[in-house]
Amino acid sequence: MDAAQLTQQMINGLTLGSLYALIAIGYTMVYGILRLINFAHGDVLMVGCYFAWFGAVQFGLPWWVALMGSMALTAALGVLIDQGAYRPLRQAPRISALITAIGVSFFLENLGLVVFGGRPKAFARPEMFNHIYQWGEVRVLSLSIWVPILTAIILAGLILFIHRTRMGMAMRALSRDLVTVQLMGIDPNRIIAATFALGSALAAAGGVLWAMKYPQINPLMGVLPGLKAFVAAVLGGIGNVTGAMLGGLLLGMAEIMLVALLPELAGYRDALAFVMLIGILIFRPTGIMGEELPE
Amino acid sequence: MKKMLLMLGALVLCAGTALAAELVRLGVVFPMTGPAAVYGQNGIKGLKLAQENRPTVLGRPVKLMIVDNKSDKVEATNAANRVIQKDEVCALIGCLTSSNSLAAAPVAEKAKVPMLSPWATNPLVTQKKEYVFRICFIDPFQGAVAAKFARENLKAKTVALMIDISQDYSVGIAGFFQRAFTKLGGKVVLKTHYNTGDQDFSAQLGAIQAAKPDIIYVPGYFTEDALIARQARELGLTQPLLSGDAAQADELIKIGGKAVEGLYFTTHFDEQGVTTASGKHFVAAYRKAYDEAPDSVSALSYDSYNALLDAMERAKSTDAAKVSAALAQTKDFQGVTGVLTLVDHNAVKPAVILQVKNGNFAYVATVNP
């Protein structure tokens, strides 16, 4: 592989990794606060894509209006899921909530099949993302450059939000101690609802970028990105936002490099992700950035 | 032994209840959801039209028992079991994809229920089976047609293969293509793989870019084909793309857009290549009913229904063994996809080559076996 090839593949890896990272951030946020692995995250992403598709393709809205609308609607959906499915189980054992999350995931997938149908729909890519830059033999789609930039901006904004605002402070407090937080006059349900709203809006943003990069959407499209993002979140240290970013980039890069260097093993790229998951769970269960949990 | 007796009992019951109800139940196990959903939904359109056209057999009304196999191997087995045991069907139409048919065929074979696949092209589907048939050609032929077209018409000396390893169809046809292409003096410079549902192909395409083949052979489903085409063009690959019959779906063009322009594929049927009178009638009726052009899956499903009913009429019964014997002797059947004869349970008939041109499928050639 020559230098141009390597650069090309590095850029491919960076873009894929950033997409994983963006989705992983939403996973990790909910986990950080509720200690709940929200397995429905990938399917929330799918619904977000359909909202944007209805906005942009069906109603002909400009893409950024469709994106904003989709994020708002998906945030509302996230709150609704929390209220309907997770809130009644707040005091139940963690495993009950986890099983409910899987149930919500199946519910959304099958609801999607009934409402939107099983046929994939073509997603439009806005003109500004369709431009191709060329340096020598390296060709890059402008979207591939925008994705890492947008991911970095969202990550920075999220870190500021968590560390600099009262809501963020309440979220961090809640993740430490639910009972004490209530004694301090904070309504935990409000904070949790806000977490779900934020996490789901991020899922919608990630989903729309994903659908612009790989321009087809279907009701089962969220399954694999959701699982990969979960792996990324665990790799980085689940509950840690910066870790999710790192995990996503690492996973994306590893997948692309596997296929690039060993094309005959390309069929095993999904397997690679899960081998990495098993590896990190055995050798460093807290992930790259994770802290030792006081049990 | 006990199980066999139970199965036999179920069969006897099947015949008994069917006679009492005067209904001829046909099981239809198609992918209505999942990555192959488009094929299943088009296939059902063809079947419904066929049923409207010919609602009875042996003087008894036909009832289609449609079950979704979710494009999944395990679900295909479950669905076949369900229609055979619960709905007590006399025969089975399905599955569509090779992987699903390979999963369902042993169920039909064991229960001794005739199964007729409209669209499964992998040779293993019918091999060594008494009760399993298909109405389409098989991949050794389709792969050879594609290889010949690549060598002679596209003047390709080298090819890169992109194979969907989760589909028996893709793995099989790529192998037959490779064999035929090498025999004709061509060379396979790179073989790379992916799975159904993958969305990022940049790494595989990067490797292909380095190998510099004359053409790229991508015998995959339309979704993956469209995404591969888009990403290939974005990476600056300009080689012609060649695919197989699974590329024939409107969504290929909707998702692929300009990137799939010029893509060639081998398939079973195109309305511009219709030769039989029943074919012309079918195209007109289909266009009237659905306001769109029929594709291979809908035409083959239509043919499956009629071939099965013909066999029942020749057998003068819906008895499984008699229907199977009659199906095996299908000869000069005037199908909408051409005149066909079943040899070793597989249809022998011409293939069609199509190309995407100006956002439509354009007819290129018909290749006889």
Whether residues A220 and B34 touch (CB distance < 8 A) is answered with: yes
Predicted confidence (pLDDT) at residue B256 exceeds the cutoff of 90: yes
What confidence tier does B1 reach under pLDDT thresholds 50, 70, 90? low
Whether B204 has its CB under 8 Å from any CB of chain A: the answer is yes
B338 and B236 within one domain: no
Q: What DSSP line would sit under B103-146, residue for residue?
A: HHHHHHHHHT--EEESS---GGGTTT-SSEEESS--HHHHHHHH
Domain membership of residue B87 as a residue range: 2-137+275-349
Give, for B234, the enclosing helix (H) or strand (E): helix B222-234
The dihedral sign for the CA sequence B151, B155, B160, B166: negative
CA–CA distances in Å: residue A138 to residues A8, A12, A214, B192: 6, 11, 20, 21
Chain B partners of A215 at a C-beta cutoff of 8 Å?
Answer: 227, 230, 255
pLDDT tens for residues A26-45?
Answer: 889 888 888 888 999 999 99
The answer to whether residue B230 neighbours chain A at the CB level (below 8 Å) is: yes
**A113, A260, A267 member nearest B195 (Cβ):** A267
Q: Kindly determine whether residue B165 and residue A141, on different chains, have CB atoms separated by under 8 Å.
A: no
Place of tokens 């809205």: A61
Mean pLDDT of A271-284: 93
> Which residues in chain B have their CB less than 8 angstroms from residue A220's CB?
34-35, 197
Looking at the structure, do residues B237 and B176 belong to the same domain, yes or no?
Answer: yes
Give the pair of three-digit tokens for residue B317: 């019964």
CB atoms closer than 10 angstroms to residue A282: 8
Residue finishing a domain among B213, B245, B267: B267
For residues B317 and B259, membership in a common domain is answered with no
Those residues with Cβ within 8 angstroms of residue A114's Cβ, 6 or more apart along the chain or in another chain: none
Question: Do B33 and A120 form a contact (C-beta atoms < 8 A)?
Answer: no
% of chain A at pLDDT higher than 70: 98
- B292 and B166 share a domain? no
Q: Which two tokens stand for residue A271?
A: 């397997």
Cα–Cα distance measured from residue A147 to residue A167, given in angstroms and rounded to the nearest whole number: 27
Nearest to A12 among B32, B199, B206 (CB): B206
B9 and B127 assigned to the same domain: yes
Same domain, B16 and B59: yes
Distance (Å) from the alpha carbon of B263 to chain A's nearest alpha carbon: 18
Q: With an 8 Å Cβ cutoff, are A266 and B192 in contact?
A: yes
- Helix (H) and strand (E) counts in chain B: 12, 16
What residues of A are in contact with residue B34 (Cβ under 8 Å)?
118, 220
B257 reaches A (C-beta below 8 A):
yes
* pLDDT greater than 70 at residue B5: no
Rounded Cα distance between A63 and A153, Å, is 19
pLDDT of residue B90: 94
Q: Which residues does residue B265 pair with via DSSP β-bridges, in sequence order?
A: B243, B354
Looking at the structure, tell me whether residues B316 and B336 fall in a common domain: yes
Question: How many domains are there within chain B?
Answer: 2
Phi first, then psi: what are they for B338, rounded to 5°? 120, 175
DSSP-derived pairing of the beta strands A216-217 and B241-243: unpaired
CB contact under 8 A, B234 and A141: yes
C-alpha–C-alpha distance, residues A225 and A228, integer Å = 5
User: Is the confidence at residue B344, as pLDDT, over 60?
Assistant: yes
Tokens of A47: 């619904």
Task: Give the percent of chain B with pLDDT over 90.
Answer: 89
Q: Do A119 and B206 touch (CB under 8 A)?
A: no
Bridge partner residues of B362 (DSSP): B355
Do B260 and B314 fall into the same domain?
A: no
Q: Do residue B259 and residue B290 come from a single domain?
A: no
Compute, in degrees rounded to 10, the torsion defined by CA atoms A163, A165, A166, A167. Answer: -90
Tell whether the model's pLDDT for residue A68 goes beyond 90: yes
Q: What is the pLDDT of residue A4?
A: 87
The amino acid at A18: S
Chain B residues close to A256, C-beta within 8 Å: 200, 202-203
pLDDT average, residue stretch B264-270:
96
Query: What residues does B28 pair with on adjacent strands?
Result: B66, B93
Q: What is the pLDDT of residues A105-134, one digit of tens each?
A: 999 999 999 999 889 999 989 988 989 998
How close does chain A come to B143, measured CA to CA in Å? 21
The pair of structure tokens assigned to A84 is 């309907």
For residues A230-235, average pLDDT: 94
Q: What angle do CA B212, B218, B224 make, to 5 degrees?
A: 120
B359 touching chain A per CB within 8 A: no
Residue B4 has phi, psi (to 5 degrees) of -60, -45
B220: exposed, middle or buried (Cβ count in 10 Å: 0-12, 13-18, 19+): buried
B200:A12 CB<8 A = yes
Query: Would residue B368 count as lying in a domain?
Result: no
* Count of pairs with CB atoms under 8 A, one residue in A, one in B: 112
- Using the Cβ of B53 and the Cβ atoms of chain A, whether some distance falls under 8 Å is answered with no
Would an 8 Å CB–CB cutoff place B189 in contact with chain A? no
B87 inside 8 A of chain A by CB: no
Q: What is the pLDDT of residues B30-80, one digit of tens each?
A: 999 889 999 999 999 999 999 999 999 999 999 999 999 999 999 999 999
State chain A's mean pLDDT as an integer. Answer: 91
With 0-12 CB in 10 A as exposed, 13-18 as middle and 19+ as buried, what is A135?
A: exposed
Please name the residue that has the structure tokens 């970013």. A245
* AA letter at A64: W
Confidence bin at B21 (pLDDT 50/70/90): low
Task: For an interface test with A, give the residue of B44, B161, B191, B202 to mutate (most A CBs within 10 A).
Answer: B202
Is B336 within a domain?
A: yes
For A3-7, A48-52, A149-153, B312-316, which range has the lowest pLDDT when averaged over its residues?
A3-7
With a cut of 60, say whether residue A283 has pLDDT above it. yes
pLDDT at B189 over 90: yes
- H/E element, A133: strand A132-135
Q: What per-residue confidence (pLDDT) applies to B18?
A: 47
Q: Which of B220, B242, B267 is the last residue of a domain?
A: B267
Omega of the bond leading into B14 within 30 degrees of 0 (cis)? no
Asked if B234 lies within 8 A of A266 by C-beta distance, the reply is: no
Residue B160 lies in a domain: yes
Contact between residue B26 and residue B64 where contact means Cβ atoms under 8 Å apart: yes
Mutation pick from B30, B33, B68, B191 vs chain A, by most beta carbons of A within 10 Å, is B33
Q: Is residue B364 part of a domain?
A: no
Last residue of a domain, which of B206, B232, B267? Answer: B267
Calpha distance A149→B33 (Å, rounded): 36
Which H or E element spans position B201? none
Q: ipTM more than 0.95? A: no
Ranges of each domain in chain A: 3-283
Integer Cα distance of B362 and B272 in angstroms: 8
Q: Is the pLDDT of residue A97 over 60?
A: yes
What integer pLDDT is reported at residue A295 of this predicted model?
A: 44
**Is B14's pLDDT higher than 90?**
no
Domain with residue B208: its CATH number is 3.40.50.2300
Angle A254-B178-B71 from CA coordinates, rounded to 5°: 60
Which residues does A21 contact at the CB level (< 8 Å), separation at least 6? A151, A155, A232, A244, A245, A246, A247, A248, A249, A252
Same domain, B8 and B125: yes
pLDDT single digits (tens) B108-151: 999 999 999 999 999 999 999 999 999 999 999 999 999 999 99
B124 lies in the same domain as B144: no
The Cα angle at residue A84 between residues A82 and A86, in degrees rounded to 5: 50
Walk across the sheet containing B91-94 and list its strands. B56-57, B60-68, B24-30, B91-94, B115-117, B132-134
The count of residues in chain B is 369
Contact B255 A216 (CB under 8 A): yes
CB contact at 8 A, B167 and B225: no
Residue B358 lies in a domain: no
| Of the options 2.40.30, 1.10.357, 2.60.40, 1.10.3470, the CATH number for the domain spanning A3-283 | 1.10.3470
Does residue B15 sit in the same domain as residue B116?
A: yes
Residue B251 in contact with partner chain A when CB distance is under 8 A: yes
* For residues B216-243, average pLDDT: 96
Q: Is B359 left (phi over 0), alpha (psi -120 to 50) or beta?
A: left
CA distance B192 to B161: 6
Q: Considering the domain boundaries, does residue B41 fall inside one? A: yes
Structure confidence by residue, pLDDT tens digits, A179-194: 888 898 899 999 999 9
Which of B206, B234, B254 is the closest to A5 by Cβ?
B206
Average pLDDT, stretch A270-292? 88
Q: Is beta strand B351-357 parallel, antiparallel or unpaired with respect to B346-348?
A: unpaired
Kind of pairing between the strands at B115-117 and A138-141: unpaired
The answer to whether the CB atoms of B192 and A141 lie below 8 A apart is no
- Shortest distance between the Cα of A250 and any Cα of chain B, in A, equals 15
Instruction: Please classify residue B157 by burial: count the beta carbons closer than 10 Å to its beta carbon, then call 0-12 exposed, 13-18 middle and 19+ buried.
Output: middle
Instruction: Using alpha carbons, select from B105, B90, B84, B133 the residue that is nearest to residue B330.
Output: B133
